[in-house]
Amino acid sequence: MSASMNPVSPSVTPPPDKRVILEASGLSKRFGGLLANDDVSLSLGTETGKVTSVIGPNGAGKSTFFKMLAGFCTPTTGKVRLFGEDITGLNPHKISARGLVRTFQETTIFPELTALEHVALARQLSRSANDFQVFANTLSARRDEDRMRADALEILRFLDLDGVASSVAKTLPHGYLRLLGIAMGMAASPKVLLLDEPYAGLNPDETDRAVELTRKIAASGVSILLVEHDMKAVMKISDHIHVLYFGKKIAEGTPEEIRNNEQVIEAYLGKEDEDIGL
């Protein structure tokens, strides 16, 4: 029997599972002679509202990995699927519109705008993909603007930040600015939220508060992917952890499994529990 007569070719791959929230397969990124990510795969599975962390030493490739997921940098090889759809190489705005959102950094904060205006602006930008309504002074744009502000206030309330809604950014302490960045990410109605070192520079109380908020966001059904050096926070908040080392994934597992993984201890966590405050 010739191959063309065989109705089921062994090379046919099954269609991607649309229930799988996010799946990176074999992602690599080369910067000249440096392989910043080397064949990294990760799946968030099908259960929403989980916190998954990516840890590893400085320069391990964590931020590069996030940038590839969110479209800020094109993978050299590999694929990213969001709910089964191939999003590899799409621009960040298109990826964000599909529900995979990277939080705003402090560099995207305007000193003279209020917290509410920041969140409303982030929402407007996320909603107005390819039209110019944001800039057009039409009645419908104004009506939109009112709705955006109402939505923004609701987001600030949800994150317990409504108390600073009308404070201008330049008067807000660092801890609040970090939370404002998260609120701006939430404005895009993410299904998956990427947080790159959200607790950096926070004092222990602020970190506790930010960890609590991260949990609250996850509990609302948003899947969180977190890069963070604060191991105490990571171990407390994560459902699952992936470890990068020199661009390669060397382990994944529950916090308990990662804490006791010899290779991870050797490469990153250190032998003494005190090293990471556990």
Q: Is 27 in the site for ligand ATP (CB under 6 A)?
A: no
Q: Which of residues 60-99 bind Mg ion (CB under 5 A)?
A: 63
Task: Give the shortest CB-241-to-ligand ATP separation in angstroms.
Answer: 14
Dihedral sign for Cα 99, 103, 108, 112, please: positive
Answer with the entry of Mg ion, ligand ATP, none that 64 interacts with (C-beta below 5 to 8 A by kind).
ligand ATP
Rounded-to-integer distance, Cα 88 and Cα 85, Å:
9
Report the nearest approach of Mg ion to the CB of residue 276 (Å).
18
48 touches Mg ion (CB under 5 A): no
Strand partners, 77: 28
Site membership for Mg ion, residue 229 (CB under 5 A): no
Nearer to ligand ATP, 70 or 187 (CB): 70
| Closer by beta carbon to Mg ion, 43 or else 63 | 63
Q: Which does 189 bind (CB under 5 to 8 A by kind): Mg ion, ligand ATP, none?
A: none
Angstrom distance (rounded) from CA 157 to CA 34 = 44
**Least spacing, CB of residue 64 vs ligand ATP, in Å:** 3
Distance CA 63, CA 72 (A): 10
Nearest residue to Mg ion, by Cβ distance, number only: 63
Residue matched to tokens 């799988």: 20
User: Which residue number, 34 or 278, has a Cβ lying nearer to ligand ATP?
Assistant: 34
According to the binding rule CB under 6 A, does residue 137 interact with ligand ATP?
Answer: no
Contact 56, 244 (CB under 8 A): yes
- The residue from 18, 19, 31, 170 that contacts ligand ATP (CB under 6 A) is 31
- Report if residue 2 touches ligand ATP, rule: CB under 6 A: no
**Count residues contacting Mg ion (CB under 5 A)?**
1
Q: List binders of ligand ATP among 36-65 (CB under 6 A).
A: 36, 56, 58-64
Long-range contacts of the stretch 249-253 (C-beta < 8 A, 24+): 249/39, 249/40, 249/41, 249/42, 252/42
Cβ atoms of 66 and 13 closer than 8 Å: no
Q: Which does 31 bind (CB under 5 to 8 A by kind): Mg ion, ligand ATP, none?
A: ligand ATP
Among ligand ATP, Mg ion, none, the one that 110 touches (CB under a kind-dependent 5 to 8 A) is none
Q: Which residues bind ligand ATP (CB under 6 A)?
A: 31, 34, 36, 56, 58-64
What residue ranges bind Mg ion (CB under 5 A)?
63
